[in-house]
A and B are shown apart, each in its own frame.
Chain A
Amino acid sequence: MDLIRRTVLKGAGAGGVLAGLLATGMLKPTLAYANEWNKAAFEAKDFDAALKTIGADNPAANAALVMKAPDIAENGAVVPVDVVSQIPNTSSIAILVKKNPFPLAAFFEFANGALPDVSVRLKVAETCPIVAIAKADGKVYSTQKEVKVTVGGCGG
């Protein structure tokens, strides 16, 4: 009886300390980088495989996810891409270039007031769609835009 009470008290005490540590942020040694680089996803050579590794197979279309990219990119080495998600609670945005040797180009996660709105410049190997994937409330949405490339970005 006494023993059980002791264990319970101990457990509660430890839990309290843990909560305290979490509250003060002491239990977040990896604050600067929330995640490891997702090697499997970035090294996927196939568009569908890349989607799968980021848990985004079968994304739904959503007009609230908007991507801005040029219709024709004169220089495939620098293609500006803007992605804005108006979908509530968007937690992450991934950008993929469908026909690049490694399709996944960038992945961003948002927290603490960051808006799901990113711009980045990508290398695009050949004319193909650029695809943006947004995750919100556990659901996956996508939008895409075909970019014509006159000079590829990967040959050098």
Chain B
Amino acid sequence: MADPMKIRAQMKGDVCEIRVLMSHPMETGQRKDNDGKTIPAHHIQLVSVALNGKTVVSGQLAGSVSRNPVLGFKIKGAKAGDKISVSWKDNKGDSRSDETTVA
């Protein structure tokens, strides 16, 4: 299983700002190693952000998102103490889910 995500969720006025750092190689499938062999694609495909169990953002990513993706979202209607959970799934079937509380 991949390394845990770092998630920060902070209230700024009535908007909750979420920043997520995912740990993932995000290999495009375009690069070649030193022997000239193509490095197979390995990247996150699906991302989901939920507020108290309710999906707020569902995202789809390509290999052209930078290594160790940093994603930022904003949601309305959250308050301090609410639960934010983020999950991702990559093209090799690996996945990861982490959560934090809104500060």
Contact = CB atoms under 8 A, between A and B. Distances in A.
Contacts of B56: 110-114
Contacts of A42: 60, 62
Contacts of B58: 33-35, 108-109, 111
A100 B20 CA distance: 25
A117 B72 CA distance: 8
Task: Give the interface size class of chain A.
Answer: 35 or more
Interface residues on B, range: 35 or more
Interface stretch (A7-15, A59-67, A118-126, A136-144): A118-126
Interface in B41-87: 45-46, 48-51, 54-67, 69-78, 87
Given A110-B56, A119-B71, A154 B62 contact: no
A112 B55 contact: yes
Given A42-B60, A122-B65, A154-B31, A32 B73 contact: no
B8 interface: no
Interface in A99-113: 100-102, 104-113
A156 B32 contact: yes
A101 B71 contact: no
Interface of A: 31-35, 37-38, 42, 77-79, 82, 97, 100-102, 104-115, 117-124, 153-156
30 contacts: A31-B50, A35-B60, A37-B45, A38-B60, A77-B67, A79-B66, A105-B64, A106-B61, A109-B57, A112-B54, A112-B56, A113-B76, A113-B78, A114-B75, A115-B73, A115-B76, A117-B72, A117-B74, A118-B73, A120-B69, A121-B69, A122-B65, A123-B63, A123-B66, A153-B64, A154-B28, A154-B30, A154-B64, A156-B31, A156-B32
